[in-house]
């Protein structure tokens, strides 16, 4: 078991215990409380949606801990610890068998980001391959390149590997090198990239827009990550955003989901960098 996986499992256990404690405490959930968790990019999108919903629906409270990731949030959902999971992964057959119900919402570009002082505006797929494989170790200004990786099983890692056969090989090589920086969650990755000189990583565009870390977003082969570029098929990296619930969805949570899929909710999500692909039904 890798170090990053051990950290993730430890964090999952602690947060699940915390969520289950709240679930068993009537005072904590007095009134309409909605418990949400999921991927870091998904939870960043939820922040303006929660703010927008709160302005029109008083008396509703939200419990949203640090991101468990898609897999962790689904486990928490099926254990009854949360009401809604925001995920970037499809459900496994066994998760569906246990009552998980997935509803598509949209997708956000997976942006290539660097520390703000990196002197580039665009990067090619070949240049990315050379960086991740270790062939290129310096930026044009002489600064050492420091890659911020995600765990091997993370969806962002799989998306990057899917960019090209060369990138799949390069990311695999990077994962095997000793001493690499590995961030478990989206917010941790963005924070590390922002604070580490010469660093490069990947982030859901929602995390860049809502999180407001001082990140430098690169164009990929001359195309900036955007909803328009995703819709037109000119930007190749996309991260799905889905909602997963069970048949035990509380009334307050159901009303909030209806708001998210409404025209007002969809408009809020679009401003946060999401291309809406669901029909709203």
Residue count of the chain, please give it.
281
Q: Do domains 3-106+238-276 and 108-232 have the same CATH topology?
A: yes
β-bridge mates for residue 138, sequence order: 144
pLDDT of residue 194: 97
pLDDT of residue 58: 76
Query: What CATH class does 108-232 carry?
Result: alpha beta
Ordered by start, the domain boundaries in the chain are 3-106+238-276, 108-232
Going by C-alpha positions, the residue among 83, 88, 125, 76 that lies closest to residue 238 is 88
**SS3 assignment, position 35:** strand
Say yes or no: domain 3-106+238-276 is CATH 3.40.190.10.
Answer: yes
pLDDT of residue 11: 52
pLDDT of residue 5: 47
pLDDT of residue 57: 79
pLDDT of residue 32: 82
Going by C-alpha positions, the residue among 76, 52, 78 that lies closest to residue 64 is 76
- Tokens read off for 146: 């420091």
Contacts of 163 (CB under 8 A, 6+ apart): 125, 128, 236, 237
pTM here is: 0.85
pLDDT of residue 30: 41
C-alpha 57/C-alpha 71 separation (Å) is 30
Q: Could you say which residues of the chain have pLDDT below 70?
A: 1-31, 279-281
Please state, as a whole number, how many other Cβ atoms lie within 10 Å of the Cβ of residue 29.
17
pLDDT of residue 270: 97
**What does the pLDDT look like over 18-47, one tens digit per residue?**
444 344 333 333 458 999 999 999 999 999
pLDDT of residue 98: 96
- Tokens read off for 203: 């982030």
């Amino acid at each position: 078991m890798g170090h990053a996986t051990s950290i993730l499992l430890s964090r999952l256990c602690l947060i699940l215990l915390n969520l289950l404690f709240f679930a068993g405490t009537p005072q904590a959930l007095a009134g309409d409380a909605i418990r949400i968790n999921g991927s870091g990019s998904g939870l960043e999108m939820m922040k303006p949606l929660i703010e927008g919903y709160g302005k029109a629906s008083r008396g509703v409270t939200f419990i949203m801990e640090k991101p468990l990731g898609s897999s962790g949030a689904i486990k928490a959902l099926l254990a009854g610890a949360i009401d809604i999971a925001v995920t970037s992964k499809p459900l496994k057959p066994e998760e569906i068998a246990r009552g998980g119900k997935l509803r598509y919402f949209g997708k956000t570009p997976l942006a290539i980001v660097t520390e703000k002082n990196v002197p580039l505006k665009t990067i090619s797929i070949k240049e990315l391959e050379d960086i991740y494989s270790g062939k290129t170790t310096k930026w044009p200004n002489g600064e050492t390149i420091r890659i911020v990786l995600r765990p091997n099983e993370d969806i962002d890692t799989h998306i990057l590997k899917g960019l090209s056969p060369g990138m799949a090989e390069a990311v695999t090589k990077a994962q095997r090198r000793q001493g690499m920086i590995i961030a478990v969650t989206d917010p941790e990755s963005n924070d590390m990239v922002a604070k580490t000189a010469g660093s490069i990583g990947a982030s859901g565009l929602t995390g860049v827009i809502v999180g407001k870390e001082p990140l430098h977003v690169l164009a990929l082969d001359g195309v900036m990550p955007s909803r328009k570029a995703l819709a037109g098929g000119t930007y190749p990296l996309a991260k799905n955003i889905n909602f997963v619930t069970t048949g035990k969805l509380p009334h307050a949570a159901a009303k909030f989901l209806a708001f998210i899929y409404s025209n007002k909710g969809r408009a809020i999500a679009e401003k946060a960098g999401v291309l809406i692909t669901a029909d709203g039904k």
